[in-house]
Amino acid sequence: MPLASSVANERAGTIGSSHVHSLNDDCLIAIFYYVARDPLEPFYPREIETTKADQLICLTHVCQRWRGVVLDIPQLWADVAFVYPKGFPTLLGRARESPLRFANDAFGARKPIISNEQAHYMISHPERLRILEIHYQWPSLALAFAGKTMPILESLTFDYGGASDTDGEGNRFYFNERPIRAPLLKHAVFGTIYIPLIAPQLTSLHLGIADGLTGTFDLDSERFYALLKSSPLLESLSLHECFPEEAWANEESERVELPRLVKVDMTGYIAAIASMVDMIHLVNACSNISLTVYEVDEDGAADFACALAPFIQTALHDTLSVTGYLADRSNGHPGLRLFSSERTTKDSSIHDSYTLSVDVGSDEEDVDIMSFYQSIFEQLSEGQIRHLLVVHEEQENAFTWVDTIQPFHLPALSQSVDRISFQLENRGHVDPDFGEGLAPKFLLEDYKAYPSLTSLTLHGDGRHYAAATNPDKFGEFIQWLQKRRDRDIPLETIRLTGDVYNKRYQVDQSGTVWMGPQDWTVWQEVRSNGVRVIDERKLIPMSMAPHLLRAD
């Protein structure tokens, strides 16, 4: 019988046979926990807590049996005790002695939703807090916990997003404050404020600064070193915009051993990030390291690459992906990534399995990006990289294909790579960063390079394929195939992906698409040179061509 019918029967004074009455107390408790208690997700702000409290209170009015069960589960009321300031004493009473959870709205609620009574209770009874998440309140509330012992605290968030007290507090890292002692704390998030911790069970730590804020945000290297040394179980470390401009002057020569560290995410000046990477012994070969760097110069690039060298040479990666220089960070594609094909499964793309990701910040307009990449390539061991992905960006870059010759001819790449994936490009008046033919220019310029190469995968749309197979570009590619075959290092397979026009086409120097040779005749000539062509492209109509079409 539906639940609504059960309620109607009870109001009529009859006994219904709803599913509620067929469930034992354990099942009812499980339902309440599902409705009213969320799993712990330390790095993502929770939705407004009132929704959960409303659901819990409504459930207590469904029928007498539900009400009897829910009122006898103090753990549920402990999770919502702080939601309604006016009802705080009542909800706190229902929570009895259960560990409490406080998590205020993280989505723009800058109003003071914490009553003085609630704040006083939290500060006076830190031993009762299991989860403490404070967003957009006065930093003085967070500072009131300095020096406190919080014996059952599991998750801590102080995120202020630029809020500050009228007396000038906030927007600072308070390394000189007395530490919060939290022996069971596992997850800590600090936004625009930091208070020292003693948390030997800590597994994830996030420190971040909101864009455009001013204040004293630089990490103190010695104190932060001590924090990491005291957190041997750390698994995830996220640091954003909280580094000094210069390299850290850390007097400790011993690296911090964090054997469980599997995720590192940092944004800041390259010299300081190099110092941080050098401080941590990245011994876990399965780690995911994501770094965004600013102020890249020749010396900084060399120190940065050397700091990463031990990890680069030992981590389980065999695939390198390189894109053009990004002038706009919001485009979202890192410039350089190393992947592990062993960690790529059917359920996850290769972009979910990176071991190292390096991006250059949006303000870096004068960086010699290929020299920067080369300093990282030089740390690779010969034979380590087997698969190379070359991706163009739809914008002007800080280099041309001439700049790619030296870094991509390093032995660590050229002697072991057996597969290359290449995204085709055609920009008309702009010389593409890796060339606009059917292979990167660093390949076509020297047919002897990459002697182990056997497979080439191409990706593009109809216009890209049209441009890349015009007579000049296609003739250069055929000569390259023939020279490799004559030298007994033939290309064995070409895989075509993306889409292609369903009629004949050709592209002239002005970029206009003309009706030209049929696509299949182009690839038939490639097959005649002993190359297996696997065509996985989707046919699209010529009406989708971006330029005016003309007939012969």
How does pLDDT run across 217-268, given as a tens digit for each residue?
677 888 888 899 999 999 999 999 888 777 776 666 688 989 899 899 999 8
Is residue 92 situated within a structural domain?
yes
From residue 425, how far is each of 217, 428, 473, 528 by CA, in Å?
43, 10, 12, 25
pLDDT at 398: 65
Beta-ladder partners of 506:
514
Is residue 325 situated within a structural domain?
no
Is residue 33 situated within a structural domain?
yes
Tell me the C-alpha distance between 166 and 509, whole Å: 65
Residue 395 DSSP code: S
Cβ atoms of 205 and 176 within 8 Å: the answer is no
Is residue 32 situated within a structural domain?
yes
pLDDT at 393: 64
Across the chain, mean pLDDT equals: 78
Residue 71's domain comprises 1-98
Is residue 26 situated within a structural domain?
yes
Percentage of the chain modeled with pLDDT above 70: 69
Rounded (10°) angle between helices 88-95 and 116-124? 30
Is residue 72 situated within a structural domain?
yes
For 32-81, give the DSSP string: HHHHH-PPP-TTSPPPPHHHHHHHHHHHTTT-HHHHHHHTT-HHHHHHST
Q: Do β-strands 336-339 and 319-323 pair in parallel, antiparallel, or remain unpaired?
A: antiparallel
Confidence label for 490 from pLDDT (cuts 50, 70 and 90): very high
Structure-block tokens of residue 107: 């989505």
pLDDT at 54: 62
Number of domains in the chain: 1
Confidence label for 112 from pLDDT (cuts 50, 70 and 90): very low
Tell me the C-alpha distance between 39 and 155, whole Å: 12
pLDDT at 251: 65
Cβ atoms of 415 and 452 within 8 Å: the answer is yes
Q: How confident is the model over 349-408, as pLDDT tens digits?
A: 554 567 899 988 755 566 788 899 999 999 999 889 999 998 876 555 667 888 899 999
From residue 215, how far is each of 94, 142, 167, 245, 268 by CA, in Å?
43, 17, 14, 14, 16
Structure-block tokens of residue 188: 């800590």
Is residue 309 situated within a structural domain?
no
For 190-255, give the DSSP string: EESEE--EE-TT--EEEEE--TT--SB----HHHHHHHHHT-TT--EEEEES-S-SSPP-----SP
pLDDT at 410: 95
pLDDT at 464: 83
Is residue 390 situated within a structural domain?
no
